[in-house]
Chain A
Amino acid sequence: MPKEGRFMAIITVKNLSKTFKVKLKEKGLKGSIKSIFKPKYKVVRAVNNISFEVEKGEIIAFIGPNGAGKSTTIKMLTGILYPNKGEVNVLDINPVVNRKKLAYQIGTVFGQKEQLWTHLTPYDNFKFFGAIYDIPEAAVEKKIEEFNEVFELSEFINTPVRNLSLGQRIRCEIVASLIHEPKVLFLDEPTIGLDPVVKENIRTLIKRMNKEYKTTIFLTSHDVGDIEKLCKRVIIINDGKIVLDDSMENLKYHYLNKKIVEVKMREKVNLDNEEGITILKDKGYNLKIEVDITKKSVTDALKLLNPENIVDINISNIPLEDIISTIYKEGI
């Protein structure tokens, strides 16, 4: 038994696969009648032989385009879905065998699904969740008080959930899933549909949780901001397969050997056929180029443009969003 050290794996996934049978339906009356008597199915591989590990205290982003298998994976990790093949271990518990035991140790927030009673106040909801996890009443009350302070809930803790804003609701959803002090928290699209300010709030909350309670966080999101601001490690899944599992730094570094240069010039410059330079946009005096710094340094590129000739300039990294969508499109 390894000591609680830095390299203890909290989640282990080995060769995990999940397939769904999808019923095909043909159009029209004939199709409907046919589908009653002779349904046709198509087998969809939602998750295809994936393996990875997550360490204690990590905040990990599990991302991918729609239908890539993110939710399916998260659902297998939390015991909602049964895998077809492979092994899952969360906190040394196999979700298939011991769903209830695992449930005491993990928390889940599904951004699009509400777990709270909307006619009750957050306070009553938290107490309800306390009861679900068999926490003695006094302990729950203490916990709520603590959360009230740490996560600044006092403003709305006694207002029925249905009267709360979407952001406040999500905050309560997250806090409700923390009542039993889970060791791992699964967040599926926690910031979906929220405005930028609220998003920032939620991110702060997640960070604080990770710091104060050492909660391991497994997060899926379409929001690059979530990923960039929270996570140190990213797993990208596409078509049911893991296409990238790397640290945030490496991911950026890998693509950081390219810079985007936008310039406004007095005279036109011809950069065709220059090695290491790709022209992204050319509107006469306005030019947008991508410089591959392994082939041409930024200084050399600027020399080609002639500093005397430049009216305005902006040099930037490739946005993470573009990096990710390139990976989605091309794989690695």
Chain B
Amino acid sequence: MLTAVKNQTRITALSIKYALMREMLNKATFTSNVVFMVLNNASFIIQWVVLFSIRDNIGGYTLKQVLLLWGLAAMTYGVSRFFFAKAFSLSNIINNGKLDSFLVQPKNVLISAITTDVSPSALGDILYGYIILFIYGFSFGTFFLYTLFGILGGLIVTAISVILNSLSFWFQKTDVIAETGNNLMTNFATYPDGIFKGAVKLLLYTLVPVGIATYLPIQVLTEFNLVKLLIVLGFTIIIVLLAFLVFYKGLKRYSSSNLMIARI
């Protein structure tokens, strides 16, 4: 069991490394992707400076906290899009029969399938996340927590995407639904939860778990709370397991490239 995990980790790391090498073949494009993504994220600082000129407190957040929120959202997004880029186009892989080559390998199909590609701009997101942390105030404690939450959040976002994309084992045209779902997560994650009320707030901690991926971590970063940390950790484990479950359940219905649409 332990060797299997070790071997799987080794091959996953190798796969990500090779994918990164492929992206770095063209250094100029690679660098501009990273740099422009940092600038792209930074442009939203303007938005919040303007909004905070109206009120000094929006939804219980100060400007600094909103920036941290943005930074963590970018980290989360970056971790998921960098390490598991293909999780966001998994339905294409499923529909076009591209799981075949992973199915004949003695490794975990889902992990292999989603780690064959990296997105260079996602590296810019991660970088931006750390820049924000330095602006917010660096300490080894926050650095560690921030990184941890970035990874956990990334796993949550990836798991949700895997679940949504896996729907294409059962239904058609689920790629648009998955894309919308993923955007929804990002959109909510970049606004303070204090502006939402009642049912919506409940939704954000359940069906659209932005609350757990982003809002709770910000609370823990502002004021350490072990229970909240454990909630985030526990939720991550559950949703990741759920993603595997849904994917493998669907895999039994996988039809390789035999799924054709016949026209009358």
Contact = CB atoms under 8 A, between A and B. Distances in A.
Interface stretch (B124-132, B137-145, B187-195, B256-264): B256-264
Contacts of A103: 104-107
A124 B18 CA distance: 10
A120 interface: yes
Nearest to A134: B7
Interface stretch (A77-85, A196-204, A218-226): A77-85
**Chain A facing B: main interface SS:** mixed
Contact of B107 (A39, A71, A80, A100): A100
A22 B100 contact: no
A128 interface: yes
A75 B257 CA distance: 10
Interface size bracket, A side = 35 or more
B261 A23 contact: yes
Nearest to A18: B258
Interface in B136-169: none
B48 interface: no
Interface string B100-111: 110111110000
- Interface centre among B103, B256, B261, by most chain A C-beta atoms within 10 angstroms, is B103
Contact of A22 (B173, B253, B260): B260
Contacts of A101: 106
B105 A132 contact: yes
Given A108-B104, A132-B106, A24 B254 contact: no
B225 to A, nearest CB: 41
Contacts of A46: 258
Interface string A124-167: 10001001111000000000000000000000000000000000
Contacts of B14: 128, 131
Interface in A37-92: 39, 42, 46, 71-72, 75, 78-82
A99 interface: yes
Interface stretch (A109-117, A255-263, A301-309): A109-117
B11 interface: yes
Nearest to B6: A134
A31 B262 CA distance: 12
B33 interface: no
Nearest to B10: A131
B65 interface: no
Interface size bracket, B side = 20 to 34
Given A23-B261, A117-B18, A131-B14, A39 B252 contact: no
B115 to A, nearest CB: 12
B21 interface: yes
Given A25-B263, A117-B18, A132 B107 contact: yes
- Interface centre among A106, A124, A134, by most chain B C-beta atoms within 10 angstroms, is A134
A33 to B, nearest CB: 13
A106 B106 CA distance: 10
Given A25-B263, A26-B264, A120 B18 contact: yes
Contacts of A132: 11, 105-107
B53 interface: no
A213 interface: no
A22 B104 contact: no
Interface in B210-264: 252-256, 258-264
Contacts of A106: 104
A115 B261 contact: no
Nearest to B112: A132
Contact of B18 (A42, A72, A79, A128): A128
B104 A27 contact: no
B100 A110 contact: yes
Nearest to B108: A100
Contacts of B98: 113
A104 B22 CA distance: 27
A20 interface: yes
B263 A27 contact: yes
A46 B15 CA distance: 34
A266 interface: no
Nearest to A79: B103
14 contacts: A25-B261, A25-B264, A26-B263, A71-B258, A72-B258, A80-B103, A80-B104, A80-B256, A110-B100, A117-B18, A119-B18, A119-B21, A131-B10, A134-B3
Given A24-B262, A128-B15, 4 more contacts: A22-B262, A26-B264, A108-B104, A119-B21
